[in-house]
Amino acid sequence: MNSEKPKLTESGVYHLIQPFQPPDNIPLSKPETKLKSDGTILDVFYRMPIRSKLSFIVAISVIIVAVILISVTLQQQEKELRNQTEVLGTSIVQSLAAAAKENLLLSSYPVIQDYIKALVQRRPIPGLEAQYVFDRTGTIVAHLISDSVNRKVADSELEMVKTTDTILFLETEHSFRYVLPIYQRIPDEVIPRQILLGGASVSFSKETLLAPIDRIKRLVIATAIFVCLLGIALMFLVSGRFVKVLTSLSDAARRVGEGDLLVAVDTKIKDELGVLAHEFNKMVQQLREKTEMQKYLSRSAVEMLSEEHTATLGGTRKTVTVMFTDIRDFTGASETLSPEEVVETL
């Protein structure tokens, strides 16, 4: 153990200045130990830096909002669009069937063809990709596209037309189709009969009809990505001040644990972190003052000085017990003996 030279204080008393030793009531810092990881997602989240946690929370929040908008709002809009398409398709196919009925009986197919073209020219319909009329054999007799005339409809479609007298709705991968059978009622004295003349069909392009929904969906996704990146950037800027204070507090606490009581955390933040830094500085100051007093005073004196003083200027009254002892002829004997002999005699 290295010896230190005594130093003379202002009171004229020599004291041996020892290196700082933490008081008994302050636990010594233990070697840092790494926390064990259980490998779960929650454990990984807890180990992430604060900035990464905040950025992750912002990103998840924006994603949740975007999913809600897409799944709820856009689905509702798509439902409304489907309903409007159904009303429009039903109206067109009924008009087409009514115009084609008499001409199917008379085999006046060019008249039906002219009606289809005039309908499109009179009122352009967004998403309308085809409308045609076919006879009872499934042969197309009039079509919006002239090259498709005399082609056959699918056997499955013809069979469905033969089994119903109401509008059929068929949804394929690329289109919405509305098919209406065309019947001619024949009066009979016993049982009225219906003869299938053919059918009318109208189809709409799903890609064209749902294009506004897809545009809105892409816009929502792009907006969500932009807001997410902007939120993360702002979070990094704002959280930088908080992380700086926390890092300063952590470094200062480590230095206090190593015996450095001259540290102080300087911050201009006025929120809870600022209060925490102020209280930390106050604690270190009290430890420093207490340690300085322990160099010159006994522990009991330090504890007494550390307590709150409630006495007035006139002092305080206390009941104490004093014991006076003496040894016969001790004064005379001590005058003739050396200090070593006095101590040995006692």
**By mean pLDDT, which of 155-169, 184-198, 297-311 is the weakest?**
297-311
User: Which domain, by its residues, includes 181?
Assistant: 60-209
Query: Given this model, what pLDDT does residue 223 score?
Result: 86
Give residue 45's identity as a one-letter amino acid code: F
Is the residue at 8 inside a domain?
no
Highest mean pLDDT among 8-17, 176-185, 206-215: 176-185
**By mean pLDDT, which of 11-15, 39-43, 89-93, 306-310 is the weakest?**
11-15
- CA-wise closest residue to 130 among 138, 140, 139: 140
Query: Given this model, what pLDDT does residue 345 score?
Result: 73
Query: Given this model, what pLDDT does residue 17 score?
Result: 38
Residue 109 pLDDT exceeds 60: yes
Query: Given this model, what pLDDT does residue 96 score?
Result: 92
Higher pLDDT: 150 or 292? It is 150
Is the residue at 277 inside a domain?
no
Decide if 245 contacts 265 (C-beta within 8 A).
yes
How distant is the alpha carbon of residue 89 from its chain centre? 43
**For the chain, what percent of residues have pLDDT higher than 90?**
15
**By mean pLDDT, which of 46-55, 98-107, 146-155, 212-221 is the weakest?**
46-55
Is the residue at 178 inside a domain?
yes
Query: Given this model, what pLDDT does residue 169 score?
Result: 92
Residue 256 pLDDT exceeds 60: yes
Mean pLDDT of 50-72: 82
Mean pLDDT of 52-66: 84
Give residue 20's identity as a one-letter amino acid code: F
Residue 296 pLDDT exceeds 60: yes
Is the residue at 94 inside a domain?
yes
Higher pLDDT: 64 or 322? It is 64
The whole-chain average pLDDT of the chain stands at 79
Mean pLDDT of 198-216: 89
**By mean pLDDT, which of 105-109, 137-141, 295-299 is the weakest?**
295-299
**By mean pLDDT, which of 147-156, 236-245, 271-280, 336-345 is the weakest?**
336-345
Q: What are the pLDDT digits (tens) for 30-53?
A: 444 444 555 577 777 777 777 788
Counted domains in the chain? 1
Is the residue at 140 inside a domain?
yes
CATH number of the domain to which 105 belongs:
3.30.450.20
The confidence band for 248, taking pLDDT boundaries of 50, 70 and 90, is confident
How distant is the alpha carbon of residue 1 from its chain centre? 58
Distance (Å, whole) CA 84 – CA 76:
13
Residue 310, CA atoms < 13 Å, CB-side half-sphere: 2
The confidence band for 298, taking pLDDT boundaries of 50, 70 and 90, is low
Is the residue at 92 inside a domain?
yes
**By mean pLDDT, which of 15-19, 46-50, 52-56 is the weakest?**
15-19
Is the residue at 40 inside a domain?
no
The confidence band for 11, taking pLDDT boundaries of 50, 70 and 90, is very low
Question: H/E element holding 59?
Answer: helix 50-68
Query: Given this model, what pLDDT does residue 93 score?
Result: 92
Distance (Å, whole) CA 235 – CA 232:
5
Is the residue at 221 inside a domain?
no
Query: Given this model, what pLDDT does residue 323 score?
Result: 66
- Here the tokens at position 201 are 């069909």
Mean pLDDT of 67-86: 85
Mean pLDDT of 320-343: 72
Query: Given this model, what pLDDT does residue 29 score?
Result: 46
DSSP state of 99: H
Question: How many CB atoms within 10 Å of residue 92?
Answer: 20
